[in-house]
Amino acid sequence: MTDPPKQDSDLHRVITYIDGFNLYFGLRDSNWQRYYWLNLQILAQNLLKSFQKLMFTKYFTARISAALKGDPAELVKALESKRRRQGAFLEALATLPDFKIFEGHFLGKTVRCFHCSKTWRTHEEKMTDVSIATEMLTDAFNDNYDTALLISGDSDLVPPILAIREFFPQKRIVVAFPPARNSEQLKRTANAYFVIGEEKLRLSQFPDQVTKPDGFVLNRPKEWA
């Protein structure tokens, strides 16, 4: 004789917080570009246990900035291609229910070598860790979850986890490390942790075409096939 299915009121409420760039670079460093076209709501659902219910998913990222005047042609072309692919992905994510995108800043800067004085352009993302911390703490204060599922390997998120565990000891913080990402500090701080495996990523893809509410069809970027 099997146990009756749990009612929604019996399930532990989960909100998922996704560090977009941390996940992206983990996939990139694993040479798993074929999994970039991720339905993050389905991924979050696929990471839950049977006694858990996904309430909401929050995705934190920044739009890639455009090229600057004077940038070499190859950099201009590369940035525009990345912006196009990211734009399609964000539009696909915007079709998901119970899902919100939080955008920070993607800033370009010039770096100079102290030894040879050579300069080059690089970029850095701003505000993601602060935004994640703010949302996790706010949701804890508002009792919006029983478990916070954090997809990130960024140790900068240790302080908010410590605060939540101190003031809300009944709530659980579970860290899901993206591929090729790890943090001993997060492991020691969270209630539990695991690494997202390839099978979960494979099962969490958008279809090759995603139709927006207005009928416009988004296609998986050919570079991500």
pLDDT in tens, 54-108: 999 999 999 877 666 767 777 777 778 888 999 999 999 999 999 999 998 555 5
- What is the Cα–Cα distance from 137 to 167, expressed in whole angstroms? 10
Question: Residue 190 gets which letter from DSSP?
Answer: S
Tell whether the model's pLDDT for residue 215 goes beyond 70.
Answer: yes
Least confident of 6-15, 144-153, 185-194: 6-15
**What is the residue extent of each domain of the chain?**
8-224
Query: Which ranges in the chain belong to alpha helices (H)?
Result: 20-29, 40-46, 73-93, 128-141, 158-167, 184-189, 198-202
CATH classification for the domain delimited by 8-224, as one of 3.40.50.1010, 3.40.50.2300, 3.30.230.10, 1.10.1520.10: 3.40.50.1010
Phi-psi category of 113—alpha, beta or left, where left has phi over 0 and alpha has psi -120 to 50? Answer: beta
Taking residues 44-55, what's their average pLDDT?
A: 98
Mean pLDDT estimate for the chain = 89
Contacts of 199 (CB under 8 A, 6+ apart): none
pLDDT for residue 1: 44
- What is the Cα–Cα distance from 176 to 23, expressed in whole angstroms? 10
- What is the Cα–Cα distance from 34 to 209, expressed in whole angstroms? 15
Tell whether the model's pLDDT for residue 5 goes beyond 60.
Answer: no
Cβ 19 vs Cβ 183: under 8 Å: no
Residues above pLDDT 70, as percent of the chain: 84
The reply to whether the predicted model has a pTM over 0.95 is: no
Tell me if residue 126 falls in helix, strand or coil: strand
Instruction: Give the number of C-alpha atoms closer than 13 A to the C-alpha of residue 192, restricted to the C-beta side.
Output: 10
Contacts of 158 (CB under 8 A, 6+ apart): 185, 186, 189
